[in-house]
Amino acid sequence: MFLQRFLALLRTRNKEFLRDRSSVSWNIIMPVLIVLGFAFTFTGDFADQYKVGIANDTGKDLGLNTFRQTKYIEFIPINDISTAIVKVERHQLDMLIDASTHRYWVNNESPKGYLVERIMRDSLHDELRKQVVTGKQIRYVDWVIPGILSMNMMFSALFGVGYVIVRYRKNGMLKRLQATPVTAFEYLGAQIVSRLLLIMAITIFIFYGTNLIIGYAMYGSHLNLFLVFALGAINLISLGLIIAARARSEETAGGLLNLLTWPMMFLSGVWFSLEGTNPIMQKIAEVLPLTHVTAAARAIMIDGAGLGDISYHLIVLLVQTVIFLIIGALLFRWE
């Protein structure tokens, strides 16, 4: 009986979503347009800000202070040289300098790297040993696509669950369900599974559909990527349940959901890297689920990371999911 009630609720919610053509269109067409827009806008060579990583800065006068005064160059402290070298290969860093060993790395295929190297040679009075690396450039659209997919999941999860349950509560649907044998666990479980299936189907469609046109950089496992998206979707759906647990009107739920989504959209590394930003901002970002979904997906796609490499992000998402589910279940009321 439990399985029959659960499947009935699941089918009902899926049909309700698919019959809402405006909602389906928004969840599919909007992210596709965003991806194609970025691919078109950032195609070609642009005079963006240069990025130079500096490792092991001992404070010795190599002329780095003079070099740092150069306008339009962002200097980023580096702790892991091997990871930074990969970023130079991928054109994510224009140059890497190791002050302790008097070496620097530059990609000879990078126009930005060439210009930064010429500027650096005019600024430093000590000779540095050049280390050449090569690698395929990571375009901005390659870098931003994990964030766009994660952001679309966030909106679909939070508004698709939180807003719907509140609407059911307001129009009396939950009160009528309370009079049936359906339990809160069955109802919430059906909402979670239904939204998860829809989110993953849409995410897979968008990823492979736009990939046929653009051709993303993909160095990791497709299976690992979608495992991350699945865990992230469950996490965000659980967060939406907290909002839906007690809210009585769509206006209240909408305000609370916007209060959650806007900070995550701008502080989770979706549109720009958090490297070199204010440390307080980086600590706030660590609390946000979208930060870990985006970072883990980006590591798989761009760096070819395995599940072990992103275990920190997976653990954070898993712990947050359990906490969100417990809080949402305890707070949930039919009326």
Judged against a pLDDT cut of 80, whether residue 258 lies above it is answered with no
Name the nearest CA neighbour of 163 among 46, 297, 256, 26: 256
Q: 3-class DSSP state for residue 48?
A: coil
Read out DSSP for 244-286?
A: HHH--SHHHHHHHHHHHHHHHHHHSSSSS--TTS-HHHHHHHH
Predicted model pTM: 0.67
* Cross-sheet strand order for the sheet of 129-133: 73-78, 50-55, 95-98, 103-107, 129-133
Number of alpha carbons in the 13 Å side-chain half-sphere of residue 254: 4
C-beta of residue 52 within 8 angstroms of C-beta of residue 76: yes
Residue 106: what are its φ and ψ, rounded to 5°?
-145, 145
Q: How confident is the model at residue 46 (pLDDT cuts 50, 70, 90)?
A: very low
Mean pLDDT check: name the lowest of 36-50, 84-98, 226-240, 293-307. 36-50
Name the nearest CA neighbour of 158 among 169, 166, 148, 146: 166
List, for residues 114-172, the tens digit of each pLDDT value. 888 888 877 765 567 677 666 666 677 778 888 888 888 888 888 877 777 777 777 77
Higher per-residue pLDDT: 98 or 257: 98
Query: What are 284-290's contacts with CB under 8 Å, separation 24+?
Result: 288/263, 288/264, 289/232, 289/235, 289/236, 289/239, 289/264, 289/317, 289/320, 290/150, 290/151, 290/154, 290/232, 290/236, 290/264, 290/265
Between the alpha carbon of residue 188 and those of residues 10, 184, 195, 328, 334, the distances in Å are: 10, 6, 11, 9, 11
Between the alpha carbon of residue 287 and those of residues 153, 278, 293, 296, the distances in Å are: 18, 15, 12, 15
Judged against a pLDDT cut of 70, whether residue 47 lies above it is answered with no
What does the alpha-carbon distance between residue 147 and residue 204 come to, in Å, rounded to a whole number? Answer: 14
Residues comprising the chain, all counted: 335
Q: How far apart are the first and last CA of the chain?
A: 24
Number of alpha carbons in the 13 Å side-chain half-sphere of residue 209: 14
**pLDDT value of residue 158:** 82
Q: 3-class DSSP state for residue 227?
A: helix
Name the residue with tokens 């827009």. Answer: 37
List, for residues 266-305, the tens digit of each pLDDT value. 788 787 777 666 778 788 888 889 889 988 998 898 888 8
Q: How confident is the model at residue 312 (pLDDT cuts 50, 70, 90)?
A: very high
**pLDDT value of residue 319:** 94
List, for residues 73-109, the tens digit of each pLDDT value. 888 888 888 888 888 887 778 889 888 888 888 888 7
Q: 3-class DSSP state for residue 108?
A: coil
Amino acid in position 175: K
